[in-house]
């Protein structure tokens, strides 16, 4: 109803009002658009019906939206109606009512409430931006301590004496504050076993791994749920590890190095700007894990992997490929042997990447070699066909497994579903077009595989915390 109101109101206003009493809730959507004649109001909810005014003005559509809306409302025991004077540009008012259902007063199974009062320390540079987060945590039964490193020289002592059960860093990665704070926290002996989370109240979008995935698209409530669940996990004792980060982009090298160090403060990080430098380091040092870009001058990532496979001392080092390259099925086949994970730049969050790093360091094999090969074939198929209207069924059929098994394998290997991966990949391509082309939002949505520009905008906002238009001008 709101989409229609916006669509048919070139100038004017669109408003929504919600009313309720003890028995029902009513939603009213009013616009100042074209208006609907009295005759058409009698049949507007029929299938394949369109207003003559909308047709003559070239508005597209099949005339199914209102019919589907009516059916959905009636399936829930409600009613839907329209009113309009019939005069052009006088607008229309659509309203629907649904009966209220009062569930028994029981705690939902998915909701986790702390059994005793837990303390969350919120580390922030601006308490105003953290207000909503703190308020929400308090409503959920947590005690909240706000710590401001920039205003208090003894903030470490505050954390040490306060002994929080969890720490949330509500800071921007545009400065070193967040990463420095996290490093300081990791070095406080009494806090070493306490879970720490990144969170951004501003929800500003960025490139790969810029901030905790809990903010995009997961809401504050999901963060509190993650806090509760994290306390149930045992603490791991990570030994010293040496990780080699290989990328020709200095910003990526620094970002990946910070992420590795946030996984464990005892991690030692070595850096290489190209494949040749990487191999020189590999001949001199004992490396536990490699984060490898594929597109580099002098010697690319593929050549590094091929060279490593010929050397017995390097053959078993786990490699996480982090690349912005559009990988084909052939590329994925080349990467299969010896690669622990393939992460596309802009597709995986800091939490997801840290999980991959942890799994690789522990040499955890989530799937059989054959299942991992099939996942990478599916990823290659998505990369080559993302602009088409591909579905989970088509992806599964292409690699010769069932849809459910495809989803199971994706969740085990990548921590996400094939459709979420497809959407993220499309959104990542759209971000490039928004910055590099003059195409309209609708054209870009179509070019990256979305048939509905409205749906594209919703997914884009969910993944990036802002609309495509805002991202283009950011």
With tokens 């969890």, the residue in question is 166
Going by C-beta distance under 8 Å and a sequence separation of 6 or more, which residues neighbour residue 139?
Answer: none
Output the CA–CA distances (angstroms, integers) from residue 161 to 134, 145, 187, 189, 190, in the order listed: 20, 12, 15, 12, 9
Answer yes or no: do 395 and 439 share one domain: yes
The residue from 200, 230, 260 where one domain ends is 230
User: Model confidence over 94-110: pLDDT tens digits?
Assistant: 999 998 876 544 444 44
Output the CA–CA distances (angstroms, integers) from residue 168 to 148, 153, 331, in the order listed: 12, 19, 39
Residue 132, in any domain of the structure? yes
Q: What is the pLDDT of residue 103?
A: 58
Answer yes or no: do 473 and 388 share one domain: yes
The yes-or-no verdict on residue 194 having pLDDT over 50 is yes
Residue 105, in any domain of the structure? no
Which CATH number goes with the domain that contains 145?
3.40.50.2300
Q: Are 33 and 88 in contact (CB under 8 A)?
A: no
User: Model confidence over 5-51: pLDDT tens digits?
Assistant: 888 887 888 999 999 888 889 999 999 888 888 888 888 888 776 76
Residue 247, in any domain of the structure? yes
Q: Are 93 and 83 in contact (CB under 8 A)?
A: yes
Dihedral angle, C-alpha 173, 179, 181, 186, nearest 10 °: 150
The yes-or-no verdict on residue 433 having pLDDT over 90 is yes
Residue 114, in any domain of the structure? no
- Domain of 455 in residue numbering reads as 370-474
The residue from 230, 260, 280 where one domain ends is 230
Angstrom distance (rounded) from CA 389 to CA 375 = 19
Answer yes or no: do 224 and 138 share one domain: yes
Residue 107, in any domain of the structure? no
What phi, psi does 379 have (nearest 5°)? Answer: -60, -45
Share of the chain above pLDDT 70, in %: 68
Answer yes or no: do 147 and 247 share one domain: no
Going by C-beta distance under 8 Å and a sequence separation of 6 or more, which residues neighbour residue 233?
Answer: 195
Please give the residue that has the higher pLDDT: either 222 or 152: 152
> How many domains are contained in the chain?
4
Q: Are 171 and 258 in contact (CB under 8 A)?
A: no
User: Model confidence over 217-262: pLDDT tens digits?
Assistant: 233 344 344 334 333 233 344 457 788 989 888 877 887 787 677 6
pLDDT confidence bin for 417, thresholds 50/70/90? confident
Answer yes or no: do 39 and 93 share one domain: yes
Residue 286, in any domain of the structure? yes
Residue 455, in any domain of the structure? yes
pTM above 0.85, yes or no: no
Question: For the chain, percent helix, then strand, then coil, each to nearest 5?
Answer: 45, 15, 40
What phi, psi does 138 have (nearest 5°)? Answer: -65, -40
pLDDT confidence bin for 347, thresholds 50/70/90? very low
Residue 109, in any domain of the structure? no
Q: Pairing between strand 289-292 and 268-272?
A: unpaired
Q: Pairing between strand 24-31 and 14-20?
A: antiparallel
Mean pLDDT: which of 44-58, 76-90, 444-458 is highest?
A: 444-458
């Amino acid at each position: 109803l709101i989409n229609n109101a916006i669509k048919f109101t070139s100038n004017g206003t669109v408003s929504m009002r919600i009313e309720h009493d003890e028995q029902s809730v009513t939603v009213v959507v009013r616009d100042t658009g074209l208006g609907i004649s009295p005759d058409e109001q009698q049949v507007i909810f029929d299938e394949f019906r369109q207003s003559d005014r909308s047709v003559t003005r070239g508005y597209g559509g099949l005339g199914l939206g209102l019919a589907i809306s009516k059916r959905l409302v009636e399936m829930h025991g409600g009613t839907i109606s329209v009113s309009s004077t019939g005069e052009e540009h006088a607008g229309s008012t659509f309203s629907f009512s649904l009966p209220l259902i009062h569930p028994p007063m029981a705690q939902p199974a998915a909701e986790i409430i702390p059994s005793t009062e837990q303390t969350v320390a919120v580390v922030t540079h601006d308490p105003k931006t953290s207000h909503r987060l703190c308020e929400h945590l308090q409503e959920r039964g947590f005690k909240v301590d706000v710590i401001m490193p920039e205003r208090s020289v003894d903030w470490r002592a505050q954390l040490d004496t306060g002994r929080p059960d969890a720490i949330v860093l509500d800071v921007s990665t545009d400065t070193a504050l967040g990463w420095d704070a996290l490093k300081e926290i990791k070095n406080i002996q009494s806090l070493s076993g306490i879970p720490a989370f990144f969170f951004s109240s501003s929800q500003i979008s960025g490139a790969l791994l810029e901030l905790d995935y809990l903010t995009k698209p997961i809401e504050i409530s999901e963060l509190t749920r993650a806090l509760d669940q994290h306390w149930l996990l045992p603490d791991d004792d990570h030994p010293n590890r040496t990780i080699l980060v290989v990328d020709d982009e200095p910003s990526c090298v620094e970002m990946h190095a910070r992420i590795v160090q946030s996984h464990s403060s005892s991690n030692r990080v070595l850096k290489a700007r190209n494949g040749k430098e990487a191999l020189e380091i590999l001949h001199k040092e004992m490396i536990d894990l490699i984060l490898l870009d594929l597109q580099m001058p002098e010697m690319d990532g593929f050549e590094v992997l091929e060279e490593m496979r010929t050397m017995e001392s390097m053959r078993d080092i786990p490699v996480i490929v982090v690349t912005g390259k559009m990988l084909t099925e052939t590329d994925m086949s080349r990467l299969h042997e010896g690669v622990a994970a393939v992460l596309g730049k802009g597709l995986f969050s800091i939490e997801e990447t840290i999980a991959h790093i942890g799994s690789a360091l522990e040499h955890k094999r989530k799937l059989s070699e054959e299942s991992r090969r099939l996942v990478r074939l599916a990823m290659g198929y998505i990369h080559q066909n993302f602009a088409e209207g591909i579905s989970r069924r088509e992806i599964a059929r292409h690699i010769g497994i069932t849809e459910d098994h495809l989803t199971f394998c994706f969740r085990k290997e990548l921590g996400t579903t094939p459709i979420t991966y497809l959407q993220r990949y499309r959104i990542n391509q759209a971000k490039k077009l928004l910055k590099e082309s003059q195409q309209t939002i609708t054209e870009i949505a179509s070019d990256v595989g979305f048939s509905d520009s409205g749906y594209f905008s919703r997914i884009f906002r969910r993944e990036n915390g802002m609309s495509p238009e805002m991202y283009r001008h950011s």
